[in-house]
Structure 1
Amino acid sequence: MKMFLFAAASVFALAACSPAAEEGTPTVAPPPVEAPDTAMEDTMTDTQPVEEVTLVDVVANNPDFSTLLAAVDAAGLSETLAGPGPYTVFAPTNEAFAALAPGQLDELLLPENKDDLTRIVSYHVVPGIVMAADVPAEDAATSTASVNNLDLSVRRMADGSVMVNQYTVTSSDIQASNGVVHVIDGVLIPRMEE
């Protein structure tokens, strides 16, 4: 009898340790251990904000604007043109600066002529964003104030070209995070009595 009780106890003990396997009852396996999702991490780095490209960056990154960049720096306007803006810049190329009277640029870049240089450089900057498509037609006879409150004649000609005073926009709508750049083929010189 002792043997029977021992055998019965053993069967109950084993039954308690093993999972119930009733017919029709599914067994649930634990979920497999997954490797970390690196694709999600890669995606997150792709959605981080890209560094903003300011008007100063646009000028600095184009070798055709190296003279303009030197003038902006000498005039002390780099910080302004890297600021929030927005601004529209009519940017003369190196070739346009080379067309100035001999020695004129060198003289303007001297520290004692900073006020005159600042007046000239800021004459190339208009507050707000003016895209080429938004420039008024020549017959509208409107003027546009630069940031130093001097009037510019920015107009669309009958042939579709855009003029700023006597110079032509040769490339337009170069966008920056704080404005837009239009390339012009001459240096805008305000009348000094204005």
Structure 2
Amino acid sequence: MNTTVRTAGLFAAAAAALTLAACNNNNADAPATPAEPTPETAPLNPSATNGAETSDIVAAASTSPEFTTLTSAIQSADLQGRLSGPGPFTVFAPTNAAFEKIPAATRTSLMQPAQKADLSKILTYHVVPGRLTAADLQAQAAANNGVATLSTVQGGKLTARDAGNGQWEVTDAKGNKAKITLADQTRSNGVVHVIDTVLMP
């Protein structure tokens, strides 16, 4: 999974792009400091983590402007306690932009109390028991003809495979594909892989 990836968001560091224009005009002759990888250039590999985190998955999501829809959905489905538990969990986390691919009327409907069971089913379909890093997914795929088959908390299956050019994708039960845009975001109770499309059971 050593590659440069394209991404719409970063789970806990969505604002990773550095703005240094206003810093130290007196140091104009100093060598330029290499920029940190942005979500659009960050490598998708097992070592590209943001370090061990003290925040759990839900707490980290709630602090990121790129995951306000996911956070609201977790609250509407009353899954905060479950996903804040010890786990560990592997979460394929859709960004706000991923949720926006769903028609607005459908999103609004899913947030209603009457749709709580359906929303919970969708969200837990994004959660796999255990801590599966990018290296783990790659190893599973290598041992199974290029495809890693994952059992979700919801009870359904997801498959992960290398789609070429180092891009990894996850396919849901309906055949929809989501790209993993940033892997290995470590949390206190698991690991998060950011995806660009909401998966459907």
**Of 171, 196, 200, the match for 1:185:** 196
Quick one: distance in 2 between partners of 1:120 and 1:80? 15
**Of 69, 81, 84, the match for 2:83:** 81
CA contact (8 A) 1:74 1:109 kept: yes
Aligned residue-pair number: 141
* Alignment match, 1:23: none
CA contact (8 A) 2:170 2:179 kept: yes
Residue 183 of structure 2: SS of its match in structure 1? strand
How much has 1:179 moved relative to structure 2?
A: 0.2
How much has 1:58 moved relative to structure 2?
A: 1.6
How much has 1:142 moved relative to structure 2?
A: 3.9
Quick one: distance in 1 between partners of 2:72 and 2:148? 31
CA contact (8 A) 1:56 1:81 kept: yes
Contiguous gaps of at least 5 residues in structure 2? 1-52, 172-176
Quick one: distance in 2 between partners of 1:153 and 1:52? 29
Aligned identity (percent) is 41
How much has 1:164 moved relative to structure 2?
A: 1.0
Quick one: distance in 2 between partners of 1:100 and 1:167? 13
**Of 170, 180, 184, the match for 1:169:** 180
TM-score, structure 2 normalization: 0.66
Quick one: distance in 1 between partners of 2:62 and 2:104? 25
CA contact (8 A) 2:160 2:169 kept: yes
Larger Rg, first or second structure (1 or 2): 1
Contiguous gaps of at least 5 residues in structure 1? 1-50
Quick one: distance in 2 between partners of 1:86 and 1:178? 5
Quick one: distance in 1 between partners of 2:155 and 2:165? 29
CA RMSD of aligned residues (A): 1.8
* Alignment match, 1:139: 145
CA contact (8 A) 1:167 1:186 kept: yes
Residue identity matched to 1:95: A
CA contact (8 A) 2:146 2:162 kept: no
CA contact (8 A) 1:171 1:184 kept: yes
What does residue range 1-194 of structure 1 map to in structure 2 within 5 Å?
52-135=54-137, 136-137=141-142, 139-165=145-171, 166-190=177-201
* Alignment match, 1:12: none
Higher relative CO (Cα under 8 Å, sequence separation at least 6) belongs to: 2
Residue identity matched to 1:69: T
The structure carrying a bigger helix percent of its residues is: 1
Quick one: distance in 2 between partners of 1:189 and 1:158? 23
